[in-house]
Amino acid sequence: MASLSPLARGDIYFSREQYPEAVQNYEAFLKGNPKNETMDGILFNLGLARALSPGREKDLPGAKTALNRILTEYPDSRYKSQAELILGLLAQVESLNVDVRERDSKIQRLQDELNRLKEIDLKRRPTRP
C-alpha cells in the first residue's frame, strides 16, 4: 500500500473502518493538495473518520471543523445535507453531555448534603450506655 497516494490509502483505511489511519492519510493528502475537485468528499470522509475513531482518538471538534468546511467552502456540495445532519446530531450529543454533567453534579451535591445531614444526626443522638 506504500505505493498508493495518501488519498487512496485513506479511502482504503476508511472502507476497512480503520478510522485513525484514514484520518492520518486524509490529513497528509490535504496538506499536499489544498485544492482538489473532490475536496468536499474528502472532507466528508475526514469528518466521519474523526467522529468514528475509537476512544481517545475520537476528535469531535475536528469532525465538526471538516464538516463545517463543506458548508462554507462547498455550499453546493452533494454532501451538504449529510454534513448538516451530522453537525446537528453532534450538537445534540454535546447538549446531552452537558445535561448529564449537570445531573451528575446535582447528584453529587445532594449526596454530599445527605452525608452532612447524616453526620449531624449522628452527633445529635445520645450515646447509649
Q: Is the pLDDT assigned to residue 125 strictly greater than 80?
A: no
Sequence spans of domains, the chain: 6-124
User: In 38-52, which positions are buried (b, 16+ CB within 10 angstroms) versus exposed (e)?
Assistant: ebbbbbbbbbbbbbb
Fold exhibited by the domain 6-124? 1.25.40
pTM for this prediction: 0.76
For residue 21, what is its C-alpha cell? 489511519
pLDDT in tens, 11-23: 999 999 999 999 9
Average pLDDT, the chain: 92
pLDDT digits (tens, 9 = 90+) for 45-71: 999 999 999 999 999 999 999 999 999
